[in-house]
Amino acid sequence: MKAICLSIRLIRNNQDSVARMVSVFGKVILSGEHAVVYGKPALVASIDKGVYVRAKRVRSPQHYNKIVEKAREVAGGDEYVSLLIHGDLPVGSGLGSSAVVGAATIMAVRDLLGKPVTDKDELFSLTMECERVAHGNPSGVDPAAVVYGGLIRFIKGEPIKHLHIARPLSFLLVNTGKPIETTREMVELVAANPKAPVVIEQIADVTASIQAGLEKGSDVTTLFDENGKLLELLGVVGKKAKDLSGTLRGMGASVKIVGAGGVGKGSGMMMVLSPDVEKMKNFLDNSKIDYFETTVGGL
């Protein structure tokens, strides 16, 4: 399983100045989204899609979006540090893109300044500053996942616990469309839902069962589906994603979104587990729905 890459690759540009390339990989919440905001556990794993950042000095001021600007600021860089950012991680779809971009930018700028980040706790703290710009009062689950890597159990305010699962877990991540709502707006939507306190406790119970099942090597497929239905009950899954979930469940799959969700249009990435993966792939291909396959553990 790929985790954060702390090594730097040096690239020389045409002016023979030195630029730095840094790679940081995204994450998927296996269980516990939204409940984690209320101090409940979340299970989070690294995935093999990420972002690459190259930093270099330039002669004219450079300006970026608020997340990148904050990352450059907390890393000690100024407007004369230029950043080239690219990658294959879907943006705004529940895979930690803002935390990934923040962490990678911080690392690239710090290395350019001759002060490389070697301590993951420091990087987590700096990335959290970027996440506050992006999401207001984030739980910290995304920075924890992209900085510490692997498969972790995260509880807000508590030490990270790395998990070891008995056998690899493979699934599809299906794109239901980028949400038009921010994570902050989705968190506020849940807070206003009178059903939320009960559902949050139920999600926490399912998360505990999933963790136990993963560690023992037992089948947790139906538990993921239960988590997915609870998230729908919270009101964070829109009609488009619900319709797709219903179709896939009718074909024998277990389904859940893997981030804050969205209701106006898309709901971000959706986790799909099935005993017949090829059947799912054929349906998605024929429906022209984007997806990719990933594996947690065993890499």
Residues 178 and 268 in one domain: yes
Phi, psi of 277 (to 5 degrees): -65, -40
Residues 69 and 14 in one domain: yes
pLDDT at 275 over 50: yes
Cβ(121)–Cβ(4) under 8 Å? Answer: no
Is 80 contained in some domain?
yes
**Element containing residue 42 per DSSP (H, E):** strand 42-57
pLDDT of residue 298: 59
Residues 272 and 156 in one domain: no
Cβ(209)–Cβ(189) under 8 Å? Answer: no
Is 253 contained in some domain?
yes
Structure tokens at 201: 């406790």
For the chain, how many structural domains are there in total? 2
Residue after which a domain boundary falls, among 162, 195, 218: 162
- Predicted TM-score (pTM) of the model is 0.86
Residues spanned by the domain of 250 = 169-296
Residues 58 and 94 in one domain: yes
Q: Which of 49, 103, 24 is nearest to 258 (CA)?
A: 49
Beta bridge partners of 52: 23, 86
Residues 13 and 158 in one domain: yes
Is 56 contained in some domain?
yes
Query: pLDDT by residue (tens digit) across 163-179?
Result: 999 999 999 999 999 99
pLDDT of residue 299: 47
Is 2 contained in some domain?
no
Residues 157 and 27 in one domain: yes
Is 137 contained in some domain?
yes
Residue after which a domain boundary falls, among 127, 162, 197: 162
Residue after which a domain boundary falls, among 162, 192, 224: 162
pLDDT of residue 5: 36
Report the alpha-carbon distance of residue 107 to residue 127 in Å, rounded.
10
Average pLDDT over residues 204-215: 97
Is 4 contained in some domain?
no
pLDDT of residue 137: 78
Q: Which of 23, 100, 95, 21 is nearest to 67 (CA)?
A: 100
Structure tokens at 119: 């301590």
Q: Residue 107 maps to which CATH number?
A: 3.30.230.10
Query: pLDDT by residue (tens digit) across 6-26?
Result: 333 333 333 335 556 899 999
